[in-house]
Amino acid sequence: MQRRDFLRIAGAASLAPAADARAEAATPSPAATVLYDDRAVVLDRIGIDPTHSSDTLWIRKRDLPRVNGFELKPQGACRADLCIPIPKAMTRGDYFNITAFAKKAGQPVVAEPDARVWSFGEMQALGGGLASSRVAPDFEVPDRLGRPVHLAGFRGKKALVITWASW
């Protein structure tokens, strides 16, 4: 095997009490924490749902890009080449109903409103991942020293990505 032409990435599928999560937990009373693409986005202000639905999350429009990469344009909520038309009822003043948007985009949302945490899953409207494209999605995972590693950084080499666990 030509090792210099070959790179193996191994991921340890074990759960660490990550320092970043502890820091987020220590943030004094965020209005909401949104889990999206393995990022935890802390929002210091959210809107009140007019129907008092506890699962519904209204975020500030200006927070939308850092939550899910979309931004509001006249034609709808857009990310790269994708624009999803949004009904008027999905916005209210400075706020945007991101849970209603998720439903429209075929994206599951699991919420624990008492803890003010919303977890967003895969968005169907963005395509089916590997089911629709063979291009490996980029990801960022820390190495043993906590330094971020991006899969895209290995372009130009063959890569074997393996996960294992220590038990």
Partner 1 sequence: MGGEAAAGRWYDAANATFTTLVDSKHTVSSVFQFINVPMGVWIDEHGRVVRPAEPAWAATRTDVYGGKPLAIEGEAYVAALRDWVTNGDKSVYVLSDEEFASRVKRRSPAEMEAEASFKLGVWFQQSGNAALAAKYFERAQTLNPDDWNYHRQEWSFTPADAGKKWLEKFKQFDKEYYPKLELKPKGEM
Q: Kindly list the residues in this chain that would bind partner 1 in the complex (CB under 8 A).
A: 1-2, 5-18, 21-22, 24-25, 33, 35, 38, 40, 107-110, 112, 115, 117, 119-122, 124, 128-132, 134-137, 139-144, 149, 151-152, 154-167
CB of 148 to partner 1, least distance (A): 10
CA distances (Å), origin 143, targets 38, 100, 119, 140, 150: 16, 36, 25, 10, 10
Q: Which is nearer to partner 1, 89 or 160 (CB)?
A: 160
Neighbour-count burial of 59, counting CB atoms closer than 10 A to its CB (0-12 exposed, 13-18 middle, 19+ buried): buried
Residues near 38 by beta carbon (within 8 Å), at least 6 away in sequence: 139, 140
Neighbours of 126 (CB within 10 A): 17
CB of 73 to partner 1, least distance (A): 26
CB of 53 to partner 1, least distance (A): 18
Q: Which is nearer to partner 1, 30 or 47 (CB)?
A: 30
